[in-house]
Amino acid sequence: MIIWLVVALLVGVLLGTFTGLFPGIHINLVAATLLASLGYFSRVEPIVLVVFIVAMAITHTFVDFIPSVFLGAPEEDSFLAVLPGHQLLIEGRGFEAIVMTLYGGLAALPIVLVFSFAYVLFLPGIYEIVRIAIPYLLILVSLYLVLAEEEWILSGAIFLLAGFLGMFVFNLPVKEPLLPMLTGLFGVSGLIVSLKSKVQIPNQKIKSLKEVKLSRKDFWSSIAAGAFSAGVCSFLPGIGSGHAAVMGSEISGSVKENQRSFLFLVGMINTMMMALSFVTIYAIGKTRSGAAVAVSELLGEMTSSDLAVIVAMVLASGVLAFFAGLQLAKLFSSRISKLSYRGLSWSVIGLLLVVNLFLTNALGILVLITSSALGVFCIQSRVRRIQLMGVLLVPTILYYLMG
């Protein structure tokens, strides 16, 4: 059994690296495909398949910042890294940007271990208290994010437009609705805007790890802000890594003003929230990610020994993903300046379009175009793209209010 667990771990890390590098190929798609193909794996122990999914999901959270920074093609969990990451890329410090997100993911691992115990002990009681208040908490979070903007009226309008988009799309016969919606809002839109600017990528400086670091004050400030915001947001539906990162940056002013600290924070929160989504299954029986849904369906009722294996695999895959991400960051940094950024942007747009053509339907392409237009409007309006997460928040709020 141990040998099979190790094999599942390594295969999961390998496939998580692949999904992280290719925008649009999400772990949720792989997990859904696995569930649909369970007949082919009838002789495989469920915990082995679970280890594969956990390793893939955690690795993905480390690697998916690479296309976000170098290609400008983020997914919903890494889009906040685009702006500070892109700024560092233009300064020849793209490698530094990726390393900071990798450091954040690595720092998340021991914190996940601590929070796993805390969730098991205290989350059932806490969740029972806050469950009724969930839609009102989501409304408060949404209002805070909107009112924190200078142009809060425009910000609110974009948030509501995104919310209406989400409501319509979820009520249409769109295959894989999240794929074209999030690809348009956070991927294609940014690439379209980048085509207007004549970007020349300079040679990237590949520093030693000793040279890429935070001050002690910034490190502990980021750790505290990330642990609090991810710990609070990890069990709330409709709240993603982006919301937790914005909350964390608002809590810590130094993080908000420091590019490297912010990238560290985003990397940490991304990994923490994915890891804790598996712990949440055991603690309160709730799933808040596609990977967590797959784990829940494979195991049925999760036992304490299952949880121990999952947490151990989170730690192991996180360490492996850190070193894989480091090597990939060096590879991208050494070659990105030799490529035409404009040509690269068109190539990624083409890749995203092909992915959507294969995985969704005609309505999905219409959703992709509409989402991209709204994303471009948001960027051109200089409103923070976190407001586009209204696409998930508004339908979630209405679901709980009407449920």
356, amino acid identity = N
Query: For residue 399, is pLDDT > 70?
Result: yes
The pLDDT assigned to 340 comes to 72
Segment 252-291, tens digit of pLDDT: 665 555 778 888 998 999 999 999 999 999 988 887 777 8
Query: For residue 178, is pLDDT > 70?
Result: yes
- Give the phi and the psi of residue 254 in degrees, each rounded to 5: -65, -35
**By the 8 A CB rule, do 80 and 242 touch?**
yes
268, amino acid identity = M
**By the 8 A CB rule, do 263 and 104 touch?**
yes
Domain locations in the chain?
2-402
The pLDDT assigned to 132 comes to 81
Segment 92-122, tens digit of pLDDT: 888 898 999 999 999 999 999 999 999 999 9
Which residue in the block uniquely carries the two structure tokens 């649909």? 36
User: How far is 252 from 221, CA to CA, in rounded Å?
Assistant: 7
Average pLDDT, the chain: 84
Segment 335-347, tens digit of pLDDT: 877 777 677 778 8
- Element of type H or E holding 304: helix 304-335
Query: For residue 75, is pLDDT > 60?
Result: no
DSSP 3-state of 62: helix
Tokens linked to 305? 């020994």
Closest CA to 270 of 139, 114, 142, 112: 112
Helix%, strand%, coil% for the chain, nearest 5:
80, 0, 20
pLDDT band at 214 (very low <50, low <70, confident <90, very high): confident
Tokens linked to 257? 């003003």
- Compute the average pLDDT of residues 162-168: 93
Query: For residue 319, is pLDDT > 90?
Result: yes
pLDDT band at 55 (very low <50, low <70, confident <90, very high): very high
For helices 94-130 and 46-63, give the axis angle rounded to 10 degrees: 130
382, amino acid identity = R
The pLDDT assigned to 23 comes to 62
Torsion sign over Cα 346, 169, 28, 86? positive
The pLDDT assigned to 29 comes to 65
Segment 200-210, tens digit of pLDDT: 677 888 888 88
Query: From the centroid of its chain, how far is CA 55?
Result: 15
Which residue in the block uniquely carries the two structure tokens 């942007």? 345
The pLDDT assigned to 24 comes to 57
The pLDDT assigned to 315 comes to 96
Closest CA to 237 of 284, 303, 307: 284
The pLDDT assigned to 77 comes to 52
Query: From the centroid of its chain, how far is CA 236?
Result: 15
Segment 151-160, tens digit of pLDDT: 889 999 999 9
Which residue in the block uniquely carries the two structure tokens 């956070």? 186
Query: For residue 161, is pLDDT > 90?
Result: yes
**By the 8 A CB rule, do 256 and 91 touch?**
no
The pLDDT assigned to 252 comes to 65
pLDDT band at 26 (very low <50, low <70, confident <90, very high): low
Query: For residue 185, is pLDDT > 90?
Result: no
State how far the alpha carbon of 132 is from the alpha carbons of 129, 247, 402, in Å. Answer: 7, 22, 12
State how far the alpha carbon of 145 is from the alpha carbons of 156, 354, 401, in Å. Answer: 9, 34, 20
